Chain A
Amino acid sequence: MTRVCIAGAGTIGSLYAAHLTRVAEVCVLTRRPEHARLLNEHGLRVSGRADFTARVYATTDPEDVRDADLVIVACKGGDLERLSEELAGRFAGATLMTVQNGLGAEDVVAVRGNWPILSAVTFMSGTRHTDDHVEYVLDTATWIGPYRGTTGADAEAVAELIRSAGLKAEAFPDLRPAQWSKLIFNATVNTVAALTGLRHDFHFAEGELGSLVHALVDEGKAVATAARVELREDPWEMNVHATQRGHAHSPSMLEDVTAHRPTEIELITGSLVRAAERVGIPVPLHTALYELVKAKEASYS
């Protein structure tokens, strides 16, 4: 049986962990001992689009994890440095897969060891009710591609594993077109939601706010073009489509600012603004929103 380690058990990590128990031996690496204890005692409950409780083994100590074939690095961007330190020197023989928002998570992990690395972005969403209960809200796919020392076939093997567990996944020979589509989508929608307090609803596709969203997407597309990335999907159409789903999603950055937590602004908009600088494309609107969200974080203290 395939052995999978889920490193970081937030909403996304919990959804992978619970589903993968159906087809793999799953170990969950958590940051807090209390979290691990609850998972070991109660199992991990999934509600919403699925309804079951998975038995998982959880620990805070990577030493306790038996060797894994696949490590899904599923923590939030802000926790990535710390978690990568813990992975260093361990999991020889495993393939690592990052699923963080934005750009650059692969590189943070890659400098800590010579594992083969897969790159992924996920559109799944859920709500974490407690440490041992996650609600599965949107059953959208995870997109996977090779990054370092991996091939399209490796990506397809992991996509197949995830599909067999009951989640959606798709492999691509090059993930960048998909990753950039999502980057531009997140840099636009998450920041606007965080600054306005609006869930991702019809306001994002019409009127003055719709114009702003459109202009932000256009800036992102110009950067992608200059970086020679052909987008897989038009982020504006992704936006319109998402607002028509009937369920207004609350983007994670909105939840973060509401709870006065640090956001993923650096990994998302920060990486877009830096990429824009590298290719010499001005992005005044993304830069403005980047500064505003960082300032909003600063206002907590």
Chain B
Amino acid sequence: MRICIVGCGAVGSLFAANLSMLDDVEVWAYDAYREHVDAINANGLRLSGAGEVVGLLRATADPAELPACDFGIVATKAMHTGAAIAATAHAFADGSVATVQNGIGNEEVIAEFVGKVIRGTTFPAGKLLAPGHVQWDVKGDTTLGPFEPAPAPFTEIERLADACTRAGMPTTAVADARGPQWRKVIFNASTNPVGALTGLSHGRVCERPDLRRLVSGLVDEGKAVAAAQGIELDADPEDLIDHAAKPEVAYHHKASMLQDVEARRTTEIDFLNGGIVRFGREHEVPTPLNQAIWALVKGVEQSWTK
């Protein structure tokens, strides 16, 4: 089985390095970051932290080098999905492509370029320490399921989930993967931008009762949009928010969006709160708070380009 990781940042690297340990899987990684690609080809892809792995795989910044693959796993930042899949789609003419990205709307973009798409959500996280070296911060589960308008065959989804699980990335194939996906997107959309706008860590956001109420207001709108689509959340995002606020979990964690804002990098807001607003409009569910947060973070991005 040949799998190509499209976008080999922190999360992509967790899949790439772990999957490369399997005898029956050949792993390729496509990434535009040339130093990272060169380091992987020279010394392998090293993970440290929650697991110590050195994966041997082929990396490339040139999509023309990619052979035909059975599977793609897209792990770019959400705003780069279109460019990345457009460049690599030829490798998946017969293959199935899964997304493990943040936010909603990625599957729709992938389906513009490939025919068999897998909806996915993943909870493990890490960060790129240096070219070829990724810190594995937290382990977590992955859920895969067919993307309804352009579904991959379920047996294929099971085959990919099985490979990931055997590689140490516990993954479940389900008929409807929207529940975990919306739980995660609601979690991210209700907490990340609040951290980004205020400069507060996750724990400090949650210990301000009035601000925590705003977070719940955002969660409630997200839940209403999910419910209007007939999506049953696999758990309450509120539980995840409270769990993450504990000192031993992620009290001091600066949301990735806050890190993006501090570094003046474009954020994933269009695919988080922007996605909730878009799906809300389609299903006539009002989302005024998510819309406000979306507009404010877009405003932050606009303030850099004056």
Contacts and interface: CB of A to CB of B under 8 A. Distances in A.
Partners in one complex: yes
Nearest to A297: B198
Contact of B300 (A196, A295, A298): A196
Interface string A255-290: 000000000000000000000000000001101110
A195 to B, nearest CB: 5
A291 B303 CA distance: 21
A195 B195 CA distance: 12
B204 A285 contact: no
A295 B294 contact: no
B291 A298 contact: no
A295 B296 contact: no
Interface stretch (B17-25, B104-112, B205-213): B205-213
A208 B298 CA distance: 8
A299 B295 contact: no
A288 B242 CA distance: 20
A211 interface: yes
Contacts of A287: 214
Interface in B250-306: 288-289, 291-296, 298-300, 302-304, 306
Contacts of B197: 195, 292, 296
A203 B288 CA distance: 19
Nearest to B198: A295
B289 A212 contact: no
B82 interface: no
B198 A299 contact: yes
B217 interface: yes
A198 interface: yes
A95 B255 CA distance: 52
A211 B295 CA distance: 8
B200 A298 contact: yes
A215 B288 CA distance: 9
B296 A291 contact: no
B194 interface: yes
B208 A299 contact: no
B289 A199 contact: no
B interface, how many residues as a size bin?
Answer: 20 to 34
B270 to A, nearest CB: 10
A285 B214 CA distance: 10
Best-buried of B208, B288, B299 by chain A (most CB within 10 Å): B299
Interface in B154-194: 194
A275 B294 CA distance: 27
Contact of A292 (B214, B217, B303, B306): B214
B303 to A, nearest CB: 4
A48 to B, nearest CB: 21
Instruction: Give the secondary structure class of B's interface.
Output: helix
Given A208-B295, A211-B295, A198 B214 contact: no
B51 interface: no
Contact of A208 (B204, B213, B291): B291
Given A195-B197, A298-B200, A285 B289 contact: yes
A285 B302 CA distance: 21
Contacts of A70: none
B266 to A, nearest CB: 15
A interface, how many residues as a size bin?
Answer: 20 to 34
Nearest to B193: A292
A217 interface: no
A28 B289 CA distance: 45
B295 A198 contact: no
A196 B296 contact: yes
A197 interface: yes
B199 interface: yes
Contacts of A285: 288-289, 292
Contacts of B194: 292, 295
Contacts of B211: 291-292, 294-295
Contact of B200 (A209, A211, A299): A299
A192 interface: yes
A250 to B, nearest CB: 11
Contacts of A289: 292
Contact of B292 (A201, A203, A288, A299): A288
B208 A295 contact: yes
Nearest to A248: B306
Contacts of B291: 208, 211-212
B289 A284 contact: yes
Given A192-B296, A288-B289, A198 B198 contact: no
A71 B205 CA distance: 42
B296 A195 contact: yes
Contacts of A288: 214, 217, 289, 292-293
A209 B295 CA distance: 5
Contacts of A203: 299, 302
B302 A196 contact: yes
20 contacts: A192-B296, A195-B299, A195-B300, A197-B303, A198-B303, A198-B306, A199-B306, A207-B298, A208-B294, A209-B298, A209-B299, A209-B302, A211-B291, A212-B291, A212-B292, A288-B293, A289-B292, A291-B211, A295-B200, A299-B204
Q: Which 9 A-B pairs have the closest CB atoms?
A: A196-B299, A299-B199, A197-B303, A295-B198, A208-B295, A212-B295, A198-B303, A209-B295, A296-B198
Interface of A: 192, 195-199, 201, 203, 207-209, 211-212, 215, 284-285, 287-289, 291-292, 294-296, 298-299
Given A197-B303, A284-B217, A288-B214, 12 more contacts: A195-B299, A196-B299, A198-B302, A203-B299, A209-B296, A211-B291, A212-B291, A215-B292, A287-B214, A289-B292, A295-B205, A298-B198
